[in-house]
Structure 1
Amino acid sequence: MRFNINAPFWQFMNTLVRFTALNLVFLLTTIPMVTIGPALAALYSTLFAYNDHDDIRLVREYLKRFKREFKHGLISGLLLFLLAAAIVFGLAFWNAWDSNAAYGPLILLIIAAIVVVLIAEYLFPLQARFANPLKRQWQLAAMFPWRAFPCSLALLGVDTFALALAYFVPFIRVLAILFGFAWVAYAKSLLLLWGFKRYGGLGAVEQPTFVNAHD
C-alpha cells in the first residue's frame, strides 16, 4: 500500500494539527486576560486570511496579526469589559432592590446586555477585516448587528450550540481546549464573511501579505 500524503484522511489530519496549534497559541495569548481583545481580533484576521488562502502558516500569521491588532484590540477589549462589568453591577444592585419598581431597570439592563453581546460578536471581526479607525469600528459594531440580523442570529446560534455542547458533554470541554475555539471561530468567520458581503458598506478590506505554508 503506497502512502499518499494528499489522501483526504491525511489532508484532514494536517488541517486538524494546524488548527490545534492555532487554538493552543490563541489560548496562551489570552492568559493575561486583558489581551483577549487582541487575541480575538488576531484569530478572526487569521481565519479570514485562511478562507482566502488555505495554505498559509496559521500560527505565524496569528502571531503577526496579534501584534498588528494589539492596540485597537486592547482598547476595545477593556471597553467591553467595563460595559459588561457595569451591567453585572447593575444586575447585582437590582437583585438587592426589593421593590416592584425594580422591573423597569431590569428591562433596561437586559436590553443593554443584548446590545453589548451583539457588539462583542462583531467588534473584533470588523477590526480584523476592515481598515477603520477605532471610533468607526465601534459605530459599525453597534449598527451592523441590526442591519445583518439573520447573520447575528446565526452567530448567536453557533455560540449557543457550542456552549450547550460544552455544558452537557464534559468531553467536549477537553476538545475545546485542544482545538474547539479555533473551529468555532472558523465556523463564525464563514457566517461573518457572508454577512459582510451581503450587507456590505463597512469600509476598505485590509490587504495583508500572507506567509505561505509551503514556503
Structure 2
Amino acid sequence: MRIDPESRSVQGLTVLLQFVALNVLYVVACLPVVTAGAATAALYEVTLRYADDERGYLLSGYLVALRRNLWRGTAVVAVLGLPVAGAAFAAVFWLSAGSVLGTAVGVVAVLLAVHLAGALLYGLALVPRYDDPLGRTLRNAMLLPLAEPLRTGWLVLRPLATVAVVYVAPQAVVLVATIGFSVGAYVDALVLHSVFRRRQGAGEVVSPHSGE
C-alpha cells in the first residue's frame, strides 16, 4: 500500500496534529500564569498568519513568537486584565442584587466588561500584528470595540461559549485541552483579519513578523 503524502487526507491529518501540538505548547506556556498574555499574543501571531492563506509555521513559529511578544503581551494583560475581571465581578454582583437599580447598573457593567474583554483580545492580537509603541497599541485596542461592535461581539462570544460548554459538559475540558485553544484562536484570527482589513489605514506600520 502506498500513501501519497500530498493527498488531502494526509495533509488534513498533518494540520490537525500540528494544531494539537500547538495547543499543548500554548497550555504549557500559560502554566506560569504571568506568561499567559505573551502566550496568547504568540498564539494569535501564528494563527493570524495561518488564516492568511496558510502562511508560516505553526510550531516553530510559535516558539519564536513567544519570545518576541513576551514583554508587550504581558504588559497588555497587566493593564487590561484587572479591569476586565473587575467589570465582570461588578456585573455579577449587581445583577444578583434583584433590584431595578441593581439590574440597571449590572447591565452597564456587562457592557463595560464586554468592551474591556474585546479590548484585551484586540490588544493581544495587535501586539504581534503591528510594530507600535505599547501606548498606541492599548489606545487602538480600546477604540476597536467601539468601531467594530458586531465583530467584537463575536470575538468575545467565542471564549464565553467555550466556558459555557465546559460548564454544561465538564468532559469537554479534554477537547479544550487537546485542541480547543488553538482552533479557537484560528476562529478568532478569521474575525481579526476582517477587522484589520477594514481598519487598515495609510501610514500604519505593519509588523515585519506578520508576513513570515
Shorter-normalised TM range: 0.7 to 0.9
Name stretches of at least 5 consecutive residues in structure 1 with no aligned partner.
none
In structure 1, distance between residues paired with 2:131 and 2:14: 32
State the secondary structure of the residue aligned to 2:49: helix
Partner of 1:145: 145
Secondary structure at the aligned position of 2:66 is classed as: helix
Segments of 5+ residues of structure 2 without an aligned counterpart are: none
Q: Distance in 1 between matches of 2:94 and 2:153?
A: 28
- Give the alignment of 1:1-215 within 5 angstroms: 1-52=1-52, 54=54, 56-87=56-87, 90=90, 106-201=106-201, 203-208=204-209
Q: Secondary structure at the match of 2:34?
A: coil
Assess if the C-alpha contact under 8 Å between 1:158 and 1:184 holds in 2: yes
* Alpha carbons of structure 1 residues 90 and 204: separation in structure 2 relative to 1, 3 Å: same
Preserved contact between residue 118 and residue 155 of structure 2 (Cα < 8 Å): no
Worse-superposed segment, 190-199 or 96-105? 96-105
Could you tell me how far 1:96 is from its partner in structure 2? 10
Please say which of residues 184-193 and 156-165 is displaced more in the overlay. Answer: 156-165
Please state how far the C-alpha of 1:98 moved relative to its aligned partner: 10
Distance 2:20 2:101 in 1: 50
Rate the CA distance shift 1:70–1:104 in 2: closer, same or farther, 3 A.
same
Could you tell me which amino acid in structure 2 is paired with residue 39 of structure 1?
A
**Which deviates more, 133-142 or 161-170?**
161-170
Give the Cα separation in 2 of the matches to 1:170 and 1:30.
21
Indicate conservation of the 8 Å contact 2:45/2:210, yes or no: no
Report the Cα offset of residue 162 of structure 1. 3.0
C-alpha separation between the residues in 1 aligned to 2:149 and 2:99?
35
1 CA distance for matches of 2:2 and 2:65? 39
Shift of 1:180: 1.0
Count of residues in Structure 1 that have an aligned counterpart in Structure 2: 211
Distance 1:92 1:56 in 2: 41
Structural RMSD (CA): 2.8
Tell me the CA shift for residue 198 of structure 1: 1.8
Q: Is this contact kept in 2: 1:61–1:210, CA < 8 A?
A: no
| Contact 1:130/1:206 (8 A) holds in 2 | yes
TM-score by length of 1: 0.83
Percent identical among aligned pairs is 27
Paired with 1:209 and 1:87, the residues of 2 have a C-alpha distance of 32
Bigger Rg, structure 1 or 2:
1
Could you give the per-residue CA deviations for residues 108-165 of structure 1, whole angstroms, max 9, x where no partner exists?
A: 5334322211212211011121111111111111111121222212223433443333
What's the CA shift for 1:199?
Answer: 2.8
TM-score, normalization by structure 2: 0.84
Q: Aligned letter for 1:204?
A: V
8 Å Cα contact 1:148/1:199 also seen in 2: no
Q: Which amino acid aligns with 1:137?
A: T
